[in-house]
Amino acid sequence: MKEKIFRLFAAAITMLAVASFAGRPPAEKKDPGMKALELSSALSPSIKIEPAFLPAIRSYTAVVDSTNVQSVKIDPVPFSAGSRVTINGGETVSGRPYVADLKPGENRFEISVFPAGGKNAVQYQLTIIQKDLSGQYTSERVQAGVWRLADYGGFPPNQNAYLIEGPEKAVLIDTGMGKGDLAGTVKSLTSRPVEVAVTHGHGDHAGQIGQFPASVVYMSEKDKGMLPAAVNSGNFKWVKDGDKIGLGGGRYLEVVEVPGHSAGSIMFLDRIGKTLAIGDAIGSGSYVWKFIPGTSSLSEYRDTLKKLESRLAPFDALTFLTGHHWQERTPLTGTTGKQMVTDMRILCEKIISGEITGTPNSINLGGQKMNVLTASYGLAGIWYDPENLHQSK
């Protein structure tokens, strides 16, 4: 009996609620369209759209590089979870990005967001222009007299070179693998004579050395074998730990050897400008590739990092100039860069002691499949060869 009364009571409340809802003017509707539109590719975590997304703007454009981006992931996020979204008429699955293959030039996408149960969609246009950006360089000022240069029009994945201008000389750190006029870009930024310093011999850091035949090139002789065959090393100066590359007026770049990523990986420390150009020696803030044959063991790498930590200890702040800036998860400025070095050393210790075991991953290195492990700790991440913990191979 009690239950029956309760049911009647509940039904009455429901009816009352329906009646009061019907009597009121309809509540103001939220925009039933999108609250976000994300664009990415397998290698580019975030592709910029123009203008920046705003729910009221219905038309967007993005430019991607044809060398690295053959398809994109389009991720429309509707306001309401019940909305149905189509792209060029095809249904999308909520939470799963729509993968679109691109052709050169303009690729148009019509994104329609249908309200739950409704037929009138909110329409958005997205135009993705795929073109060859390999000849374009961009530059941005890091601090007075220090520029970050990016190849591929700055489109990730790309490589960064740095130009450091001193009172008498400028030094270009790394030369990237873009196909355009890097020397011309450098000339447009400084009128000082330019020398070149290379962090290591990998093609994405030393690729365009040939554009500077009249400049002295500083690098470690240990990576000499990686240079393109056409490069004439007559203008090279092989440097070692502690060597100084003068910029004039008592300012210089100090060579810091940090082997591991490659046998000849070096960093360049500017004590006055408080910058450290790190190349790939400890990665760029996401992970370091520490599995390439012919490099040091993980134990040796840990010892190298220990030395680096004490060398950097006196600095209250240091800006790390990374080889692939787009991989920085947190800006490696202030004391964050130093923290990453410490975290990397601790990570190596934990891997060596067995406290951390990485997750299996495989990588294709020049056509050769390698089984590596990946692990992370704090700000540091590493891809390593489990058979190379104590003995270099």
Q: Residues interacting with Zn ion, by CB under 5 A? A: 202, 280
What are the residues facing 321 on neighbouring strands?
277
CB of 111 to Zn ion, least distance (A): 38
- How many angstroms separate the CA atoms of 316 and 339, rounded? 12
Cβ burial 60-80 (10 Å sphere, 16+ → b, else e): bebbbbbbbbeebbbbbbbbe
Report in angstroms how near the CB of residue 261 gets to Zn ion at its nearest.
6
Nearer of residues 199 and 215 to Zn ion, judged by Cβ: 199
> At its nearest, how many Å lie between Zn ion and the CB of residue 37?
34
Quick one: 270 or 280, whose CB is closer to Zn ion? 280
CA-atom Rg of the chain in angstroms:
27
Cα(14)–Cα(300) distance, integer angstroms: 73
Shortest distance, position 205 Cβ to Zn ion, whole Å: 6
Shorter beta-carbon distance to Zn ion: residue 202 or 338: 202
Which is nearer to Zn ion, 189 or 226 (by Cβ)?
226
* Shortest spacing between CB 210 and Zn ion, in angstroms: 18
Of the two residues 121 and 281, which places its CB atom closer to Zn ion in the complex?
281
Closest CB 151 distance from Zn ion, rounded Å: 14
CA distances to 197, 212, 322 from 329, in Å: 26, 32, 12
CB 269 within 8 A of CB 276: yes
Contact 386, 373 (CB under 8 A): yes
Residue 83 burial (CB count, 10 A): 21
* Residue 71 β-bridge partners: 101
Measured CA angle at 147 (ends 144, 150), to 5 deg: 165
Pairing outcome for strands 105-114 and 84-87: antiparallel
Identify which of residues 202 and 302 has a Cβ nearer to Zn ion in the complex: 202
Least Å from the CB of residue 142 to Zn ion: 21
Q: Which is nearer to Zn ion, 165 or 280 (CB)?
A: 280
Tokens in use for 160? 């960064």
Q: Which of 263, 244, 173 is nearest to 209 (CA)?
A: 173
Question: In this complex, which beta carbon is closest to Zn ion, that of residue 113 or of residue 217?
Answer: 217
- Taking alpha carbons only, the member of 73, 82, 25 closest to residue 49 is 73
CA distance 105 to 261: 38
Shortest CB 287 distance to Zn ion, Å: 12
